[in-house]
Every structure is written in structure tokens, then in C-alpha cells.
Chain A
Amino acid sequence: MLKAAPSRGKFLGIDKDARPFVRVEGLSRYFDVSPPLLNRVLEGKPRQILKAVDGIDFAIGKGETFSLVGESGCGKSTVARLVVGLYRATDGSIEFDGHDFGRMTTRRAMAPIRSRIQMIFQDPYASLNPRWRVREIIAEPIRAYRLLDGDKAINARVDELLRQVRLTPADGTKFPHEFSGGQRQRISIARALASNPEFLVCDEPTSALDVSVQAQILNLMKDLQRELGLTYLFISHNLAVVYHISDRVGVMYLGRLAEVAPARTLFRQPRHPYTRMLLDTIPDMDMTGRQRNPVAGEVPSPINPPTGCSFHPRCPFANDRCKVERPEPIRRGEAFIACHGVEEGRIPDGPIGTAQAA
């Protein structure tokens, strides 16, 4: 599976000669969700494997923002957790700046890479230890990696970090519960920056926030990227947010990538039927008063995914080939699409669904 035919470009979407900063190949993570052994033996229930991530490839260049979008349960958060080493991959590789991070097993081996990778979490109410003061929370990575010696140096660095995320050093002595959601997310970012990382994995960093605060956090993240040359892997289900922040976007469906394209291309000219369905759901001013097409159907269970192209039960263009054969990515300009319909040129332009619904 890793050795796909060269004509069918991988989802790396980056110049083959350039060595990408982060390269993920054939990444899979299966979860065993079988009933307990006793139930399997007595009730004859089978083993059940949930394929949360099922062979995805992408690459991220230095200083780039790569986003993963998809509906709930498509495995995007699992990818984030795999990339930072919270989960071990079932299969595939995660390369970080030439180091095979995914195959490292000991904490000692991972330590030098770990300090260069950090993560920002979704829920700012759960990502800060409620019993720690903000100063201690932010200083923890510095202490863990022994980046600085002495309380004085560490305090100075924490003050600097707090200012960097537009908080004041005085905030350091407070407890997390004294802050609002947006402020807490700033604290999370300050903590994530504490070890001078080069790569930040952001798992829906704005989806728990008030809309008015989302933009502030996104702009802060963009500013920091410019100042510090950060590389982002950005996970979100919010297409507007993704459009705002991304250089390139990968659309995930049921643990696989459906389409990878530069953000502008993807939003102007989506090719995969799933991408187009997703984009149709974004409300905009032109559409006022017009009937919108909701994304039809539900995401099938990843325990029992559909055969062939996993999107075929919901796809208006599916034919017999789609039901049997799993599509491999093909290249169209700067975009990579895993769809038989696109390959065969049988997907019409224009909004989909309207013709179908009539």
C-alpha cells in the first residue's frame, strides 16, 4: 500500500525533492473495541476493530499550516494524537525533520524530538491543571526539559511567554479558574511555546471558544507563526476557521483522506464530492434565502466501514466501481483527490445535490 504507482501521486502534496518537515506515510491506528473475552466466548461475539485512522499520507513543509477537516468521528483528532506521540501507530511512519518519531519507543529516545513538538488542546477548561498556578503550568515544559536553570531565569522566561500571548506577568500567580476560555487558551499556547517548539499540533483550538474570541486566538496563532517560524498541524471541523489559517487542507472521511489541496484551491474548486458537500453547508451572504443542501446521511460506523470508497453510500455519483474498489489518490493540478468519479471525469461541475434532489 505504501508503494503506490508513481503516476498516482501520494497525498504528500509537496515537491518530491524537498524534504518535508513532517512526513506521515500510511499512518494507521486501529482500536480494539471488542467485548470482553468472557462475552466473546459465551455469547459468540466477534472481535471488533475500530479503524480510527486507516492509512493516511501527508507532508507538511517548514513554516506551513496544514489543516485536517472532517465530520466528528472521522479520525482527525486521532491523527493529532498519533503525531505528538500520545498514541502509538498501528502501522505507518511519522517522520519529523528526518527522525522516525513514530517508531521510537523509549522516553529517552523521544525526549529530544518531544521538546520540538507541542500540542494545543481543544478544551481550555480541561487542558490546565486546576490545582496549579499559571506560572507553574507554563514553566512545566521548561523544567521537564531542563531548558533553563534557576527560578529567576525560568520566571523571566514565563513573563516573556505571558507577554507573547498578550497576557501580563501578573497573571502568572493566578489559578486557571480565574480566567475566561480565551485567556485559558492563551495560557495553553504560552505553555506550548515554553519549550521553543518548531511544530505545533492544534486539536480544534478554537472550537470550545466564543465566536468573538476565536478570531483573536487565530490571529494570535498566525502572529506567533510569523514571529517564531512555527509549523502547524491544525485540526478542525470549522471550515471558515480552516480557510482563515491554512496553507493546505486535507479533508478526512472515515479515517482516510478524501482530498488534499492548497486552501484557496480547495475552497474555490473542490473536486471530491465529499468536499463539495461540506463546502455547500457553509452559509454565506449570497445564499441568503436560498435552500441549502445539508450533508446527506450520517457517517457510517468506522467499525464496519463501507467497502470500496467509504463515501459511496452518501455519494450521489457512486457507481459499482466505487462500491468495490478503494480509490487511490490522483493528482489534479495542486490537488490530490481519492475519487473514481474525478478520475473518470464523470463528476459534473456546479453545486451538487440540487440536481440529485430534484
Chain B
Amino acid sequence: MADVTAPPGALRRFVDSDVFYSFRRSKVTVVAAIVTAIIVIGSMLGPWIAPHDTYDVRSLNLLDAFTPPVWSEGGNPSYLLGTDDQGRDVFSTILLGARVSLLVGFAATLFAMTLGVLLGLISGYVGGTTDAVIMRIADIKLSFPAILIALLIDGVARGIIPRDMHDDLALYVVIFAIGISNWVAYARTVRGSTLVEKNKEYVQAARIIGLHPFTIMIRHVLPNVLGPVLVIGTLGLAGAILAEATLSFLGVGVPPTRPSLGTLIRVGNNFLFSGEWWMTIFPGVMLVVLVLAVNLLGDWLRDALNPKLR
């Protein structure tokens, strides 16, 4: 994120940087990055590379339901990882499901990040009563489990939104619910860094020329507190993907017509004991691999940006 704003020559400096060096040195991180890249690109291109359009109900053939993976007995070569109870190709649903999972994960993380960074900046920079109010709200938020808040918001949203709009808005409700339950980590970290930065002389130099406090926060303080945010954001992305899967598994997440990995696991779970293991295992493995890879990237980033561990 910091590199986006960097001026020309940024690529060169990035390749030469300590961060990139530590990236090359860590094989686990390189593998994690490649796996993440494959999953992200694969799911982005999902609608084009998936062998079947599982969103198109007319293309489904119920007679193909419960087909096992190709290598098992009774497998069908056109369904690589088998089909589910409605005859949907599992491989295609995973590609499209990972797309939904990633979309929700990214959007929720971005939302939580924006909200948290903004509140943290204001809290740390303005201080006083504003700081106390924001931080007490954060404390209250922390005393509830995040998933509970997400469930609560989801439930309330279902009550407010008219029934026929549920499916259209469900995705946004999930993004909002996960985002709102994760902003505290960003707010606290940013507040801490802001408290340090705001007393540095470059911020005072900006105050002397009479810049608006908001301008100072965005232009001076923000770029200098973003490092830790990037780390929390990466780890938070894995958390958000898991949270979405949890909500969908519980049946309050995204609608089953556009299933995410969590929805796939839930649906498949019903057939686990009747022998159709592929319906739930493959999406599950996909989820584990994705979350693990993102988490490994986050761990590496945390260490790479921590000067004490170099």
C-alpha cells in the first residue's frame, strides 16, 4: 500500500529493499505468496476458467448429482472433483466460491481498515474526550466476541431489509458485519503510533504553518503509521475470510445461490456421513490452504517490518 504512493523508481527501490531481500530469503513465504497468487488469480478469472457455470440453474443436470471425483469409481471426466447434491461441479463451485470468499474478505478488511485507521487517527491526534469516547467504544466492542456482533448485525439486517432484497444485499450485510467487528485492532494500533508521531517535530512544523488538523493527519501522520496497519490487514484478511466462512456455515452469510467456501462446506457437511465426502473436503482444503497462505504472508510481513528482528 505504501508503494502505491511512492514516486517513480519505486520498483527499483522495492527490489533493492530489505523487505524484498527477506522475502527472497524465506522459502515458506515465497511458496505462500505463490499459492495466494494462484488462488487469487484463479478465483478472479473464475467465471471464465471454470468448466461449468454453476450460477446458471438451467445448465445443471440433477442426474449428475453426487458424482464422485474422477479418480474414484463412477467418476465423470467432466466433473474433476465430483458434483454436489444439485449436480453442480465441485471444482467450479470452489473457484466461484473462493471468489466470493476473497471478495468478502478483502472488502470487509478494507472497510475495517478504513474505519479503524480513521478512528485511531482521530483518537490519537485529537486526544482528550474524543479519544476517551472512541477508545471506550472500542473496549465495549472488544468485550463481545466478533462473531456474535456479526451475527447480531446480520440478524438485525434481515429484520430491516425487505425479504425480496435479502439475496441482493446479503453480501454487503456480511461485509459490513465482519468489517464492523474487526476495526478495533486497527484503531488501537494506529492510535498508539499516532500518539508517538504527533509529538514529533515534523508534525509540529506542520501545525505552525496553520494546516488544518485533518490535513496533518492524512498527509503527515497517516503515511508514518501505515506499516503496522499493513501487517494487521494481511492477518485480518485471513481472519475475515474465516469469519465469512463461519457465518456462511452457520447459514447467515452469503445466499446459497452464490455460495462461498463456507456455504459449500455447510452444504457438503450434510452429506459427509452418507459417504459424499468430496462435497465438503475440497472446499475445506481450499479454505485451509488459502487462510494458511495469507497468514504466513502476514507473519512474514510482521517480521520483515519489525527492525528488531532483522
Q: Which residues of A contact B (CB under 8 A)?
A: 81, 84-86, 107, 110-111, 114-115, 117-119, 121-123, 126-131, 133, 140-141, 144-145, 188, 191, 195
Instruction: State the CA gap A84–B220 with chains docked (Å).
Output: 20
Closest to A191 in B: B205
Q: Is the CB of A140 within 8 A of B206?
A: yes
Residue of B7, B207, B208 with most chain A CB atoms under a 10 A cut-off: B208
> Which B residues are in CB contact (< 8 Å) with A81?
204
Return the CB mask of B193-223 against A: 1 if under 8 Å, else 0. Answer: 0000000111011111111100000001001
User: B202 near A86 (CB under 8 angstroms)?
Assistant: no
Closest 7 CB pairs of A and B: A127-B201, A121-B201, A129-B202, A131-B223, A114-B210, A126-B200, A126-B201
Q: Which residues does chain A contribute within 8 Å of B205, judged by CB atoms?
A: 119, 121, 127, 188, 191
- The CA-CA distance from A188 to B224 in the complex, in Å, is 19
Does A127 lie within 8 Å of B202, measured CB to CB?
Answer: yes
Report whether B204 and A121 are in contact in the complex, using a CB–CB cutoff of 8 Å. Answer: yes
CB distance from B22 to the nearest CB of A (A): 19
Q: List 22 A-B contacts (CB under 8 A).
A: A84-B208, A86-B207, A110-B210, A111-B210, A115-B209, A117-B208, A118-B208, A121-B204, A126-B200, A126-B202, A127-B200, A127-B201, A127-B202, A127-B205, A128-B202, A130-B202, A133-B7, A141-B209, A144-B209, A144-B210, A145-B209, A191-B205
Contacts of B210 in A (CB 8 A): 107, 110-111, 114, 144
The smallest C-beta distance from B199 to any residue of chain A, in angstroms, reads: 9
A140/B208 in contact, CB under 8 A: no
* Interface size, B (range): 10 to 19
A131 touches B224 (CB 8 A): yes
Q: How far is the CA of A101 from the CA of B212 in the complex (A)?
A: 18
Which of A121, A131, A145 has most chain B Cβ within 10 Å? A131
Q: Which residues of B contact A111 (CB under 8 A)?
A: 210
B209 and A114 within 8 A (CB): yes
Assess A85 versus B208: contact at CB under 8 Å? Given A121-B201, A126-B201, A129-B202.
yes
**What 6 additional pairs, Cβ within 8 angstroms, besides A111-B210, A129-B220?**
A81-B204, A84-B208, A119-B208, A127-B202, A140-B209, A144-B209
| Residue in A81, A114, A126, A129 whose Cβ sees the most chain B Cβ within 10 Å | A129
Chain B residues, Cβ within 8 Å of A110:
210
Question: Which listed residue, B201, B202, B207, B208, touches A122 by the CB 8 Å rule?
Answer: B201
Most buried by B among A117, A122, A126, A133: A126
Please measure, in the bound complex, the distance between the C-alpha atom of A121 and the C-alpha atom of B209, giving whole angstroms. Answer: 14
Give complex CA distance A122, B223 in Å. Answer: 23
Min CB distance B94 to A, Å, is 41
Contacting residues, chain A, for B201 (C-beta < 8 A): 121-123, 126-127
CB distance from A203 to the nearest CB of B (A): 9
CB nearest to B215 among chain A residues? A144
B241 to chain A, nearest CB (A): 31
Mark contacts of B1-40 with chain A using CB atoms, 8 A cut-off: 1 yes-contact digit, 0 otherwise: 0000001000000000000000000000000000000000
- Nearest-neighbour CB distance to chain A for B193, whole angstroms, equals 13
Contacts of A133 in B (CB 8 A): 7
